Amino acid sequence: MSTSNEVQYYESDFDFDEHAAAVREQINHAEEEPEERLIAKHDENDDSLTPLSQADSWNQFHSHHSAGNFYKPRRYLLSAFPCIAQYLAGGDDASSIRVVLEVGCGSGSTCVPIIKECSKRCDMVNENIILLACDCSTTAVETTRRFIDGLVENESLRRPHFASFDADPSLTIDESPPFLSQVKSAHDDLMRDTELAGQLVANGDIGVAGIVLLVFVLSAVTPTRVNRFVQQIHETTAPGGKVCFRDYGLYDLPMLRFDSQACCRSSTSLGDPVYLRGEGTIARFFTLESTRAIFESAGFTTCELRYCTVYNINRKTRQKLKRVFVHGVFVKPHNDGTT
Ligand SMILES: C[S@@+](CC[C@H](N)C(=O)[O-])C[C@H]1O[C@@H](n2cnc3c(N)ncnc32)[C@H](O)[C@@H]1O
């Protein structure tokens, strides 16, 4: 457990290997799995899995939760990823423009701790921080905008340079403009009316984001498009920039619930189990090995990678629920190979 910014952060409440062994033991004693559950294959032509139908499912999800409070603010974010606060502080070059990009922003819950951290720092340096948030769901983008406007107003926070926009890095060149150009357009649109207007970045193909947040988004991406998604994230990350990754891990509680409810399951080429929720969205559960393979094959270097094990306490039953997440920090090396 560690404490920073008055938030208690837990990441090793129980031993992952022991938990995994107990789950495997249970599976061995369970009845043979029905054949039809295991045959589902991720087929590009499966209509329910295409990026467009996933965006539709997420639009419906966010329409049902338009108040923006389904996902709670990720208060642990800065404790889990100290590199974010370091980047915001600017290090040796506090006058440089710093771009934080969240992909798959949902209703903005991961943006909240960043905005609060920026607001706390009353120095002019904050004027150089740009927070961009995107999502494949236009409803999510709208919800995020509304939620952040409300937060800034209700809590009298200093308004950051902030924009939300719709984009999906899993789309091909035939389906959408390159993700990097969408991020640069959002960046420049935001900058145009500010004192930073002289520092537009539209030209050139060098990545712009010093920090990219991928928080519970990769698990929702069409499995056959995950490599493309991460490749476009790599293009968009500035050399030396970092990806902060958190997502569902193998044997996480929802995975065991999917299994106990005999939900349709399939497996990715890297062996990760994948399920389709009742509402049509994809839920994938990562191993450390699959996560490393995905990021390293896109050109990232792994800095941190581990399972986080956290007890959630059921308020009614007081039962301890075992959550498993994959935590990762990946860096895009500079052109000379240094990180
Ligand atoms: C589980 S929510 C997580 C939201 C937010 N990151 C958080 O921490 O609460 C996943 C979000 O990712 C978005 N998403 C799913 N696939 C995406 C894709 N291919 N590109 C961009 N966003 C995507 C969904 O619309 C949804 O808002």
Whether 221 lines ligand 1, by a CB cut-off of 6 Å, is: yes
Question: CATH assignment of 2-27+45-331?
Answer: 3.40.50.150
Whether 137 lines ligand 1, by a CB cut-off of 6 Å, is: yes
User: In this structure, are residues 132 and 163 in contact, taking their beta carbons and an 8 Å threshold?
Assistant: yes
Closest CA to 212 of 190, 192, 197, 232: 232
Q: Tokens 């030209």 identify what position?
A: 203
Which DSSP string corresponds to 281-331?
-EEE-B-HHHHHHHHHHTT-EEEEEEEEEEEEEPTTT-PEEEEEEEEEEEE
pLDDT tens digit sequence for 191-217: 887 777 767 665 567 899 999 999 999
Taking the C-alpha atoms of residue 283 and residue 289, their distance in angstroms, rounded to an integer, is 18
At 221 the pLDDT is: 97
Maximum distance among all Cα pairs of the chain, rounded to whole angstroms: 66
* Pocket probe mutation, ligand 1, options 84, 139, 168, 217, max atoms within 8 Å of Cβ: 217
At 19 the pLDDT is: 96
At 37 the pLDDT is: 45
At 40 the pLDDT is: 45
Consecutive 10-residue averages of pLDDT for the chain (339 residues): 64 95 84 47 65 95 83 90 92 80 96 90 70 97 94 88 96 96 92 74 79 98 96 97 98 90 76 90 96 98 98 88 97 90
For 12, residues 6+ apart whose C-beta sits below 8 A from its C-beta are 308, 309
| Residue 244 alpha carbon to ligand 1 centre in Å | 14
Which DSSP string corresponds to 140-186?
HHHHHHHHHHHHHHHTTPPPPEEEEEE--TTS-TTTSS-HHHHHHHH
At 314 the pLDDT is: 86
Atom of ligand 1 nearest to the CA of 59: 25
Q: Tokens 């399972």 identify what position?
A: 307
Return the C-alpha torsion angle 256, 260, 264, 269, nearest 10. 30
Q: Tokens 């994959």 identify what position?
A: 326
**Residue 100 forms beta bridges with which residues?**
131, 211
At 41 the pLDDT is: 46
At 124 the pLDDT is: 46
Whether 220 lines ligand 1, by a CB cut-off of 6 Å, is: yes
pLDDT tens digit sequence for 63-86: 998 776 788 889 899 999 999 999
Domain map (residue ranges) of the chain: 2-27+45-331
Q: Tokens 């150089």 identify what position?
A: 128
Taking the C-alpha atoms of residue 81 and residue 328, their distance in angstroms, rounded to an integer, is 9
Taking the C-alpha atoms of residue 182 and residue 295, their distance in angstroms, rounded to an integer, is 21
At 92 the pLDDT is: 67
Task: Write the single-letter amino acid at 47.
Answer: D
| Residue 199 alpha carbon to ligand 1 centre in Å | 29
At 266 the pLDDT is: 80
User: In this structure, are residues 285 and 272 in contact, taking their beta carbons and an 8 Å threshold?
Assistant: yes
Taking the C-alpha atoms of residue 38 and residue 109, their distance in angstroms, rounded to an integer, is 34
Whether 216 lines ligand 1, by a CB cut-off of 6 Å, is: yes
At 222 the pLDDT is: 94
